[in-house]
Amino acid sequence: MNVADLKKTCEQKMQKSIDSLKNNLAKIRTGRAHAGMLDQIHVDYYGSPTALTAVASMNVADARTIIVQPFERKMTSVIEKAIRDSDLGLNPSTTGDVVRVPMPSLTEERRREMAKLVKGEGEDAKVAVRNIRRDANNQLKDALKAKTLPEDAEKKAQDDVQKMTDKFVLEIDKLVHDKEKELMSV
């Protein structure tokens, strides 16, 4: 095992955790409509769960409304039901062959709930980063036991992995803080 490869792999995995956090935070709405909010919704399309983006096009009509245009007319009611049943708290309505998804304004209580959700996402990302650090440190200890790595090199590599972990945890804290600030601003 090469220490440089281990550090590189560790950093790539930690960056994937950050990217995942960014993706999850983007799904948390702030009262403004954006089509990406519906990306994780799946509908029943001929018996198999299919992403909403594969069966309909989505556009933002105004700051508070998303328009979902199904590619097949008969999918309208299925799409409406899938959006309503999702955990996003949205109440779509169908007009003709178009599903309109209005964004309800956020109350202070709902903003606080969203802030807690953001903190939870941040904690999950931190746990993922720390697990990556633990795995890297275990690999370093195994290399030390197998006598393929000198003790001083193992200690330096552990310090480098810790510094990398600290850097990514700080980035997570910043992302969470920024999202909370965005949520709490009216």
Per-residue pLDDT tens over the stretch 36-76: 777 788 888 888 888 888 888 888 888 788 899 999 888 88
Q: Model's pTM, two decimal places?
A: 0.69
Q: Tell me the C-alpha to C-alpha distance, in Å, between residue 137 and each of 3, 120, 132, 143, 165.
A: 11, 26, 9, 10, 12
Residue 98 has pLDDT above 70, yes or no: yes
Residue 166 has pLDDT above 80, yes or no: yes
Q: Would you state the pLDDT for residue 156?
A: 93
C-alpha to C-alpha distance for 105 and 110, rounded to whole angstroms? 9
- Sorted by sequence, the CB contacts under 8 Å of residue 98 that are 6+ apart come out as 67, 68, 69, 76
Comparing 18 with 109, which gets the higher pLDDT? 18
Neighbours of 2 (CB within 10 A): 11
C-alpha to C-alpha distance for 93 and 32, rounded to whole angstroms? 18
Contact criterion met (CB below 8 Å) for 116 and 166: no
Residue 1 has pLDDT above 70, yes or no: no
